[in-house]
Amino acid sequence: MSDVVIVEELVKRYGDVEAVRGISFGIRKGEVFGLLGPNGAGKTTTIHVIATLLRPTAGSVLVAGHDVVKEAAEVRKRIGIVFQDPSLDWALTAWENMYIHGLLYGLSGEGLNSRIREVLEFVELWEHANRLVRYFSGGMRRRLEVARALLHSPELLILDEPTIGLDPHTRARIWDYIREVRKREGMTILLTTHYMDEAEELCDRIAIMDHGKIIAEGTADELKSLVGSDVIIARFDRPACFQSGPVKECRELPDGRVEFVVENAAKALPQLFEMAREAGLRIIEVSYRRPTLNEVFLHLTGRELRDAPAEGPRPFAMMGRRR
Amino acid sequence: MGFAKAFGVMVYRQLKRFVKARGRLIMTFVQPLIWIFFFGVGMGSVFSFSNPVAESFIKQMFGGLDYMTYLTTGVVGMTVFLGSFISGITVLWDKQFGFLKETLVAPAPRSAVILGRAFGDTLVVLLQATIIALVAKAVAPSINLLGLPGALLYGFILGMGLTSAGIVISLRMTTPESFQVVMNFVMMPLMFLSGVFYPLDRLPEWAKAIATANPLTYAVDGVRYWLTGVSMHDPLTDLAVLIGISAVFIALAVYEFSKATIE
């Protein structure tokens, strides 16, 4: 097995709340693997276990062949992590933050100095190296955290919601860095996100998480093929489902709308209108989409990913301020 | 891997932060000066008599020292006590701002990280203590500054212990409000029942019992010995007790930090 990360039957419980309920997955060397899911799905808990910051309740996690509980120090050497909440020392400069990180990871001397310069130039912060982090914008801080995670050239780079709370411009920039890191250093990357476009844009393989479980896993195309080709979503004056003509699959959604899976929505729509008229149904609303990961999520859970409620405890509420 | 590097870099960080936090810099000097000034001037005037008999009686109460000398040497010890405890508590701020996670996920030995941190903070506090001692010399000329290195050794041991105690408490603490509780119900009584402001031998038994268990008592006594030659206990006893108490706190801090997660 050349998998960089192997997660087997991982369970994490906080009191009586089960944040992660027995998940298994592997991350191959050199790939970008995404955990996609709504807030509270258990993504952050999962990566905190992988990063040795939380002890699993059950199951095992190996990073580059090392157990995260028994060989935590070996695992820590090999990973770089960008947390969802800031973890910089605001009272120090960017350079000082990098320098401290380097020494904590066993680097020093000229090697460390030139590497600091290299990664700060990479995230375009070299000219701000001697400014206090306190005066950095949110985007600059995130870029600095990315640079810091790269400083010791980890085998596995972990990014927890790398673009949350960032403006579109900065977001695109972070995406560029991630692609560039992968190309230049061949690093294996694990990222969590609740943005479908981010998962689709960056990840080779995606695991969709919901309520502490992985409900689907594969490439974006594989996941979309779970839904079929196109999806029509309609609301009638009363719930109704029909499965004839172009409709390959039909089911009622919890919110009262009906989902039709069809080969080609543009051609199926007129036929669907006709069928509804014949059945005496009044159409209140209708829309169609080419399948996105959101449709996959909707298909698997009956809820939209974008408005899935935040659930479960925020495990590190104690650690950071809520935003 | 890299125990010395990790230890060193945490010392570096604590010193850097100290130099950059001007507010804290100023407050840590001003507070003991306020004690010396108001307590010294106020109580000093109560205890000064023109009658030589009364004068010598008072001096006898303070081990042969005039009140200003007695007080200021105590304040040197107190500065270390409060300063290092509050430094330890700043781990809470690292929790709040997330920097603690950065140190927890690093491969550096956790013991090195936490000991380096305590050491750096203790150095800062000893610098403050030195400045207080110089101020004390100005208002109480009989103080012997040649004893300062000896006094600072006691301060160092107390500082390492109290920083560690602060670290343990802040690792366990869930809300910053508990800090006030600890300050008011633990630190303040310990400060008053330590011989900084008045001798302990005439206190009621329960207060004496607290003073006997109080690390600050031994630090104040030891510091006073080195700066004036007057002490309640044998200075070696002071040293032994201080080392014992601090070792327990340091061991606890290393243990707590080694098994810290972010739950």
Minimum distance, in Å, between the CA of residue A4 and any CA atom of chain B: 18
Q: Are B71 and B40 in contact (CB under 8 A)?
A: yes
The string of pLDDT tens digits covering residues B125-153 is 999 899 889 989 988 899 999 999 999 99
Alpha-carbon gap, residue B134 to A89, rounded angstroms: 33
Q: Residues B102-114, buried b or exposed e (16+ Cβ, 10 A)?
A: bbbbbbbbbbbbb
The pLDDT, as a whole number, for residue A75 is: 96
Question: What ranges in chain B are assigned the alpha helix state H?
Answer: 3-20, 22-34, 40-46, 52-61, 67-89, 91-97, 99-104, 110-139, 148-172, 177-182, 188-192, 205-213, 215-228, 235-258
Is residue B168 over pLDDT 90?
Answer: yes
The residue written with tokens 């009584």 in the block is B189
Across A265-278, average pLDDT: 86
For chain A, say whether B263 makes contact (Cβ under 8 Å).
yes
Is residue B114 over pLDDT 70?
Answer: yes
CA angle A138, A116, A85 (to 5 degrees): 30
| Secondary structure string (H, E, C) spanning A176-206 | HHHHHHHHHHCCEEEEEECCHHHHHHHCCEE
Is residue A139 over pLDDT 70?
Answer: yes
Band of residue B1 on the pLDDT scale cut at 50, 70, 90 = low
Among the listed residues B262, B6, B106, the one whose alpha carbon sits nearest the alpha carbon of residue A76: B106
The string of pLDDT tens digits covering residues B29-65 is 787 788 788 877 777 777 777 788 887 877 887 888 8
Which of chain A's residues have a Cβ under 8 Å away from the Cβ of B102? 87-89, 101, 104
Q: What is the ipTM of this complex?
A: 0.88
Is residue A218 over pLDDT 90?
Answer: yes
Q: Are A234 and A286 in contact (CB under 8 A)?
A: yes
Q: Are strands A17-28 and A3-14 parallel, antiparallel or unpaired?
A: antiparallel
* Residue contacts between A and B (CB atoms, under 8 Å): 101
Is residue A290 over pLDDT 60?
Answer: yes
Q: Are A205 and A33 in contact (CB under 8 A)?
A: yes
Establish how many alpha carbons lie within 13 A of residue B163's alpha carbon, considering only the half-sphere containing its beta carbon: 25
Alpha-carbon gap, residue B250 to B256, rounded angstroms: 10
Q: Maximum distance among all alpha carbons in chain A? A: 80
Please tell me which residue of chain B has the smallest CA distance to A88. B99
SS3 B194: coil
Across B67-93, average pLDDT: 90
Alpha-carbon gap, residue A181 to A189, rounded angstroms: 9
Across B98-126, average pLDDT: 94
Across A105-118, average pLDDT: 94
- Inter-chain touch A96–B100, beta carbons under 8 Å: no
Distance of CA B160 to the CA centre of its chain: 9
Mean pLDDT of chain A: 88
The string of pLDDT tens digits covering residues B171-189 is 988 777 888 888 888 888 9
Q: Please enumerate, as own/partner, the contacts of B184-187 that have beta carbons within 8 Å and a separation of 24 or more.
A: B187/B81, B187/B82, B187/B85
Higher pLDDT, B21 or A153: A153
Which of chain A's residues have a Cβ under 8 Å away from the Cβ of B106? 76, 101, 104-105
Q: Are B146 and B227 in contact (CB under 8 A)?
A: no
Alpha-carbon gap, residue A248 to A229, rounded angstroms: 10
The pLDDT, as a whole number, for residue A318 is: 39
Alpha-carbon gap, residue A308 to A208, rounded angstroms: 13
Band of residue A310 on the pLDDT scale cut at 50, 70, 90 = very low
Is residue A314 over pLDDT 70?
Answer: no
Alpha-carbon gap, residue A159 to A32, rounded angstroms: 11
- Where along chain B do its domains lie? 3-258
The pLDDT, as a whole number, for residue A306 is: 63
For chain A, say whether B102 makes contact (Cβ under 8 Å).
yes
Higher pLDDT, A159 or B25: A159
Across B211-224, average pLDDT: 94
Alpha-carbon gap, residue B174 to B144, rounded angstroms: 44
Which of A3-12, A88-97, A278-287, B30-39 bottoms out in mean pLDDT, i.e. has the lowest? B30-39
Across B246-255, average pLDDT: 97
B 22-81: CB under 8 A from A:
none
Contacts of B145 (CB under 8 A, 6+ apart): B133, B134, B137, B227
Is residue A111 over pLDDT 60?
Answer: yes
CB-CB neighbours of A281 under 10 Å: 18
Give chain A's contact residues with B (Cβ, < 8 Å): 14, 48, 51-55, 73-74, 76-77, 79, 81, 83, 85-92, 96, 99-101, 103-106, 108, 132, 315-316, 318-321
Minimum distance, in Å, between the CA of residue A320 and any CA atom of chain B: 5
Contacts of B201 (CB under 8 A, 6+ apart): B232
B 157-176: CB under 8 A from A:
174
Across B84-102, average pLDDT: 89
